[in-house]
Amino acid sequence: MSELNCLTMAQARDGLAKGDFTSVELTQAHIAALEASRELNAFVTETPEQALEAAKASDARRVSSNSGGGEAGSMEGLPIAIKDLFCTEGVLTTASSHILDGFTPQYESTVTANLWRAGAGMLGKTNLDEFAMGSATVTSYYGPTVNPWRRSGDDKKLVPGGSSGGSAAAVAARAALGATGTDTGGSIRQPASFCGIVGIKPTYGRCSRWGIVAFASSLDQAGPMTRTVRDGAIMLGAMAGHDARDSTSADREVPDFEAALEKGVKGLKVGIPEEYQMKGMSPELLALWDQGKAWLTAAGAEMVPVSLPHTKYALPTYYIVAPAEASSNLARYDGVRYGLREEGETLQEMYENTRGEGFGAEVTRRVLIGTYVLSAGYYDAYYLKAQKLRTLISRDFREAFDKVDVLLTPTAPSPAFAIGEKMDDPIAMYLNDVFTVPASLAGLPAASIPAGLSGDGLPLGLQLITHPFDEETMFRAARAVEDAAAFNAEPTLMAGDGS
């Protein structure tokens, strides 16, 4: 039998159901893999005891369900990793920020509670850009996460993308069957592309935001990061659902995403947005995109050129809206209720010292930008203007979706870059999200699927975007791309594969 940590989630689920191995065995294999991959710095906190407790409880439930005592959950016995942005009861939750030092939530986020109810167990909390602000997992107070992939013939350490870089690296390195991510402007899809895995940002409102440390509330959305599209469907099904505690959570049935997978793309109209073909795009990325079109055409879909005229304004719009919302969400870190406190002569000084010490450079920059664009006299010029642009960007998508069922684009403008690159120019870093931000601004479901390798051997992803709450069509198209791409390249550093 192959190493248990190299199974897909669906294989592990089926193996557990058949009794080929126990959840304890599966979990032990993952704990060993996680320990073997510590050089990646994918985890802020490891929770092996908790994972084994969950596995034992799951094995006991399975014995009882096999003798007619209730059904096994959809993720029964599967060990996963959780981005350290989800509050987990009794387990340190840091958002990779110094300001949340020692913060131990007294409650469980809805998404993680849903996963535990489905039978999954937690291996640990994964590293991220501080407060999910970044595209490379380099702004973490706990140091950068390393991408398990290397360029061929080059040992330089690369970024895993971000902000869900720890989750992406852990899943790519086979240290977890899957992991949660959150996506505000591309934080699930871009690291998925950089690490050669599947990343899914569902429709805004599909997963509850309750108990997720807030960055930009009108954009934040949780989703799964897995090695296959099927695993993404299994995991999203467990994460999603209405929650009265999040007033923006959608009161809709969660479809059986896995059932949609093999419906094929015959007759689907696939939109190719002309504005995504940007100046200076690398020929290999263009070739991969063309390849994606050819795969879907061969599978029976029809390619339709579409126009999303306001695409070029998406990033600047995002960099008004997201910092504005962040500046107000991060006002809660005041040294009074949780985390770090740096004393001062007065209360005001205590606030300033705490926040000055507790926030890193990128978070400070964004909170200041947000404060500026919301400040008296500037609100209309910046924030209101950006919200109007958001209407136009959203309208572009709606008009395109009058003609097509799904859009196909690249996920990121480049493969993974080296740690330390793009660090001195914030805007160069922001451009990582040029293809992912528009769908975020419009609240649309979008997935990144590993589709090929760059010339120097690094994974590249293709993105599929659909209508609000039409994740099923996204999964159908994603499955078709996955099937045609037959992406089976493996990262340089893969835990526990014996190589």
Enumerate binding residues for other proteins (CB under 8 A): 102-104, 106-107, 203-205, 218-219, 244, 247-248, 250-251, 310, 313, 316-317, 319-320, 327, 331, 334-341, 343-344, 346-348, 350-353, 355-357, 359, 364-365, 367-369, 371-372, 375, 382, 384-392, 394, 426-427, 441-443, 468-469
The single residue of 37, 83, 97, 140 carrying the catalytic annotation is 83
In the complex with other proteins, which residue's Cβ is closer, 38 or 245?
A: 245
Quick one: 157 or 365, whose CB is closer to other proteins? 365
- As measured in angstroms, the least distance from the Cβ of 378 to other proteins is 9
> Residue 115 or 367: which CB sits closer to other proteins?
367
Q: For the CB of residue 247, give the shortest distance to other proteins in the complex, in Å.
A: 6
Q: Least distance to other proteins from the beta carbon of 23, Å?
A: 31
Identify which of residues 11 and 248 has a Cβ nearer to other proteins in the complex: 248
Q: How far is the CB of 131 from other proteins (least distance, A)?
A: 13
307 is catalytic: no
Q: Is 187 known to be catalytic?
A: yes
Q: Which is nearer to other proteins, 468 or 491 (CB)?
A: 468
HEC letters along the chain: CCCHHHCCHHHHHHHHHHCCCCHHHHHHHHHHHHHHCHHHCCEEEECHHHHHHHHHHHHHHHHHHHCCCCCCCCCCCCEEEEECCECECCECCCCCCHHHCCCCCCCCCHHHHHHHHCCCEEEEEECCCHHHCCCCCCCCCCCCCCCCCCCCCCCCCECCCCCCHHHHHHHHCCCCCEEEEEECCCCCHHHHHHHCCEEEECCCCCCCCCCECCCCCCCCEEEEEECCHHHHHHHHHHHCCCCCCCCCCCCCCCCCHHHHHHHCCCCCEEEEEHHHCCCCCCHHHHHHHHHHHHHHHHCCCEEEEECCCCHHHHHHHHHHHHHHHHHHHHHHCCCCCCCCCCCCCCHHHHHHHHHHHHCCHHHHHHHHHHHHHHCCCCCHHHHHHHHHHHHHHHHHHHHHHHHCCEEEEECCCCCCCECCCCCCCHHHHHHHHCCCHHHHHCCCCEEEEEEEECCCCCEEEEEEEECCCCHHHHHHHHHHHHHHHCCCCCCCCCCCCCC
Measured from the CB atom, the residue of 8 and 387 that comes closer to other proteins is: 387
Q: Which of 96, 164, 187, 249 is catalytic?
A: 187
Least distance in angstroms from the C-beta of 477 to other proteins: 21
* Catalytic position from the list 163, 167, 208, 327: 163
Q: Name the minimum Å distance from CB 53 to other proteins.
A: 22
Residues involved in catalysis: 83, 163, 187
